[in-house]
Structure 1
């Protein structure tokens, strides 16, 4: 018998053995939740609990080992605990979903679009290793999904689960592209769309008379879409963009350095940064050693209230930064809940152990390095980091309102079915029905926020304008200097307190508002003139400078340069 025939017979035997087994078995690795609690009704969540997945090269001669992730993200871990806090609060309520327990399945996307999609599929199908004939006819594992933080992962999840009518409610995905109901019919969010923020930034730049600016952005859906909308709005206001550069957190150093050189050579003294926090930090690390010119930074909501950036003293060149932030919120009882998280309460959960080790820079395992040994007696109430910070809750509160939006929708379904059938039996839930009720939900959260969604699945846009001012400890502090609220009448949407703003040079008056460059070009060779060349740069200080006044200044400059013996003048006006 030939070798080929033997191999063929072995393959047939394997196929026959598979066919004789009941059902189908999963050939890949099961996608398991990082945190979970079963309830009568379950909701899903996808957060980037780690900053990146550990890349492994598979030799294709053995079964691949499960994907592992590195660098725990404390802010995202707070998001996960906020979801748990909200579900436990609802489960202890006698007014909302009484006698019904709300459960959760929380997945880790590790800042990866691929893993975010995989998590979404797991939340639809569950994670059974063996599938039966009835597996495809079962309802989804969850009634709705909270997440993701990034716009690109949310696009992946919404595209995957949307055809199955599963609602996705994001707390931090702001790309205006997600408002497209033809592409993402089941997507909603509790954070405003960048449609409003980008236009508000353009209005802000116009208000201060900055007509010559530079622009940097994240090279992803968030940055590309947000910056495109800003540039479109800015150009309508007569604002010129000297450069527009993009980068991503995984770019090589050479790419960061290239963008930095563009900024150093630029004549624009204002830079608009529509950048995700995770992309901006490595970029600023590369920028810090450079002797950069003083720039007026205008930032997007992703980084403009980042404590990790503001409290890094080598980033003090960001002093005077302005940007629109999500409004602050306060939740009673949250801090006590957060500091009571302990590995002993989840002894089999490796994520909670990793969180503890990250918070206290210790290890539960003995190792040869100098890391201290964790004892479990460490006290979270003594720690100040992104996880324990609850003074503002600008983004975390949006997780809270997302959970309550789902709970209120479920509650309304129950109440409506009771009124129709006069029975107290459990309502028939399905994601499509939950989606329809989510679109109509309206309530006031304990944070004081009025929660509802418009036809595009977006909430009302309300921002706080913050200014980075030096504190007593020489770190930068966020000071509110204005409000932008689209729910107010048009003439009252933007309220600004000029007197409270501190600028990059520390002054309290706006300067360098419009820069007009006037360059004198020497006449043709042969004619005698007193100077080889002359250049003058003038700065106009008034916010609402009339064009006639600017023209008068330019004509004066023309006269000065002409009288110096020069024939030709090149005037660049943005």
Structure 2
């Protein structure tokens, strides 16, 4: 709790002051900074106590003299309004009215502590401790048992201040940890418009910084304008998407807010309560706000029991205090009374007062103790103090060093102005009769949470933790993308692109997979890429394999036909030896296509290009020699050219084919020796697969192989074109021309298609070029001959051959 609106900074110090008595007095100023004290009715108490306690500060004045007198200031009555505050003269206050139960209980806790200490021979032996208590009525902003403002921890500004309640810094940090614990990232806040609220929410925001928690809204309310402020705040809560609301306010302001929410039927919000209202009996017993307040989770001043205190309260009688209760008969009693005043099961504020008295007593004990107990005070006067010679500075030094164990077994000491942070975590549960009850569900030691999550009853009435987020957490496989102009808690979820993954909920970035891995279909994990190559069991591989095998079968069938009809004019007239060699080379061309299919290996990469280059050179060489023979035969029939054919006899024909082919063999040998194709995993290929291919270590070698085939093909085409119209019924030149046109067209189209095709598709393009050109040669050269041999045998005669 902090300063009230318009009040000076709250402070308290342990002061040495002189009362009207002759005994020295230690004044503990314990007056709260704002209208502290639970504003609850005293009907239950007044049935067995006096009906009138007086209405002026002077009328509540009790205490006795002693060796050392501890003074206390408590806000026993409501703070009266100021009248005629013109700032030209001291303000005038109305008389104090309305006795408050909790401050009254604290008064008797102080009295009980003093009497308990006096009975204890181990504390201040030989020194009688007594008290004097006055009602401050909320007129002055001093307090130590409820002063929680973080500003009071500043020893430079408040060097003499000590308190028995933790700084608000710790409860704000505790609330931040609760938000993180339950994954609440979208929280609304309503705070008191003073130091208490502003410093608390500032600490809360510092604690959640960088954790992904955002404030959906921040409303400030003031006690002077609470009705309007509560309406405004309730409207904000009603329209906000935040389901968890943090409230740092005084309980009377919370009551007004809850009443406004009840009017709007807003009953689905989870409230986080500060210690200023988390244990308020007034709120717990208010039926009008029952549906709104159910499930409140709050931080509370630590609770404790004071042994013997309940009996002490029940033994109070007006006859023992005639000075203060002059209008009582003296026979009133609290024996057997069960009410707020006599409830000592969970003492909070009163226990803070109890600790303050004990801290003062132990400081005095240390101050008055002699180093040598056997020596007399006269012999030890320089080191042994007297209760009649207490100095302010020396007592504060001993108070700084206080360290003792309370009757409860709790270790107590100061850390500067503060005590170690300790809180209760409480929950407002709905009991079987429909009322709200305060239930302890955990505790806080320092910043360590001890919480029984399963015992919490949330605002929904169930054990299911409420969800309060601006945007649902992005699932694995997506990343967060902040919305422009909105808090970081508000975002969209963008799917990771292929090759990137996010395997956590709420990922800010997608992570790219390593080069040998790829993202799974959900983009949640990197999996090894599948090795991709043109295999025999895939559709494209099956089609190409079928085409190659069919070519081999057809070529073999033509070979058998030519072998069976070897002596017929059609076979013999067209250089049967070269025809058989051509058929053999075509069969090799079809077979070499199969070497390109399947998983690339060292031997297949070496063999496939060499087999392809040599087979096609052999094939084109045969066609070239055939064309030359046709031209030579025609020229030899002319006068004066009778000896031309002797230069192109069978031996020369075979030698020419061997010569042209051997050049390609030499090219392939040099290429494969220096820089052969090798199996290669193409990791740069985008996709879920790694392309396994035969990489061309030397593109020059491959280009030379293709270039030589192209050179022979172009030369053959030129010669065939020149001989296409020679007068011969069985002239092959025109068929060779057609076949070479197809051959050249296929391989010219092959080059750009091969370069632009990715992965295994480049292999498929090369196989298709091999099969297309091979089928073109086979059909153009041998289909007409087979047609005559099988279907027009009457034309397969020498007469028909020489008909022209």
Task: Name 2:391's counterpart in structure 1.
Answer: 430
Distance 2:436 2:104 in 1: 25
Task: Name 1:268's counterpart in structure 2.
Answer: 242
Secondary structure of 2:438 counterpart:
strand
Deviation of 1:418 (Å): 5.4
For the Cα contact (< 8 Å) 1:210–1:514, is it kept in 2?
A: yes
Deviation of 1:193 (Å): 1.4
Task: Name 2:636's counterpart in structure 1.
Answer: none
Counterpart check, 1:389 vs 2:343: yes
- Among 444, 450, 454, the alignment partner of 1:495 is 450
For the Cα contact (< 8 Å) 1:305–1:478, is it kept in 2?
A: yes
- Among 267, 275, 283, the alignment partner of 1:309 is 283
Distance 2:162 2:200 in 1: 18
Task: Name 2:150's counterpart in structure 1.
Answer: 176
Task: Name 1:94's counterpart in structure 2.
Answer: 121
Deviations 1:402-461 (A, max 9, x none): 10010011011111465697427735312221111011010010122211011x221111
Q: What 5-or-longer segments of structure 1 have no aligned partner?
A: 1-28, 117-152, 158-169, 354-363, 365-373, 519-535, 539-543, 557-574
For the Cα contact (< 8 Å) 1:49–1:72, is it kept in 2?
A: yes
Distance 1:285 1:87 in 2: 42
Counterpart check, 1:406 vs 2:393: no
Q: 1:278 to 1:434 in 2, by over 3 A?
A: farther
Distance 1:403 1:460 in 2: 17
Deviation of 1:250 (Å): 3.5
Deviations 1:67-90 (A, max 9, x none): 521121111111111101111111
- Among 188, 197, 220, the alignment partner of 1:223 is 197
RMSD: 3.4
Distance 1:56 1:278 in 2: 22
Task: Name 1:258's counterpart in structure 2.
Answer: 232
Secondary structure of 2:179 counterpart:
helix
Counterpart check, 1:446 vs 2:420: no
- Among 40, 51, 60, the alignment partner of 2:78 is 51
Deviation of 1:284 (Å): 3.3
Task: Name 1:458's counterpart in structure 2.
Answer: 418
Deviations 1:180-213 (A, max 9, x none): 1111111111121122111111011011111111
For the Cα contact (< 8 Å) 2:186–2:244, is it kept in 1?
A: yes
Distance 1:496 1:74 in 2: 30
Question: Of Structure 1 and Structure 2, which has the larger fraction of its residues in helix?
Answer: 2
For the Cα contact (< 8 Å) 2:426–2:440, is it kept in 1?
A: yes
Distance 1:64 1:483 in 2: 44
For the Cα contact (< 8 Å) 2:305–2:344, is it kept in 1?
A: yes
Task: Name 1:6's counterpart in structure 2.
Answer: none
Task: Name 1:473's counterpart in structure 2.
Answer: 433
Deviations 1:544-571 (A, max 9, x none): 97213999xxxx9xxxxxxxxxxxxxxx
Deviations 1:384-413 (A, max 9, x none): 443222110022111111100100110111
Counterpart check, 1:249 vs 2:249: no
Aligned residues: 422
Task: Name 1:321's counterpart in structure 2.
Answer: 296
Question: Of Structure 1 and Structure 2, which has the larger fraction of its residues in strand?
Answer: 1
Task: Name 1:548's counterpart in structure 2.
Answer: 507
Deviations 1:261-287 (A, max 9, x none): 222222211100112234333443444
Task: Name 2:443's counterpart in structure 1.
Answer: 483
Secondary structure of 2:203 counterpart:
helix
Distance 2:509 2:351 in 1: 47
Largest Rg, 1 or 2 = 2
Task: Name 1:130's counterpart in structure 2.
Answer: none
Deviations 1:464-523 (A, max 9, x none): 22222112332222333333212xxx8xx22332222211111112131434179xxxxx
For the Cα contact (< 8 Å) 2:57–2:96, is it kept in 1?
A: no
Distance 2:357 2:98 in 1: 27
Counterpart check, 1:339 vs 2:366: no
Distance 1:273 1:393 in 2: 23
Q: 1:213 to 1:377 in 2, by over 3 A?
A: same
Distance 2:392 2:366 in 1: 14
Deviates more, 1:277-286 or 1:320-329: 277-286
Task: Name 1:330's counterpart in structure 2.
Answer: 305
For the Cα contact (< 8 Å) 1:194–1:226, is it kept in 2?
A: yes
Counterpart check, 1:70 vs 2:30: no
For the Cα contact (< 8 Å) 2:242–2:469, is it kept in 1?
A: no
Q: 1:280 to 1:416 in 2, by over 3 A?
A: farther
Distance 2:90 2:268 in 1: 54
Deviation of 1:220 (Å): 2.7
Deviation of 1:236 (Å): 3.4
For the Cα contact (< 8 Å) 2:166–2:421, is it kept in 1?
A: yes
Q: 1:338 to 1:281 in 2, by over 3 A?
A: farther
Larger relative contact order (Cα-Cα within 8 Å, sequence gap ≥ 6): 1
TM norm structure 2: 0.48
For the Cα contact (< 8 Å) 2:101–2:341, is it kept in 1?
A: yes
Q: 1:63 to 1:423 in 2, by over 3 A?
A: closer
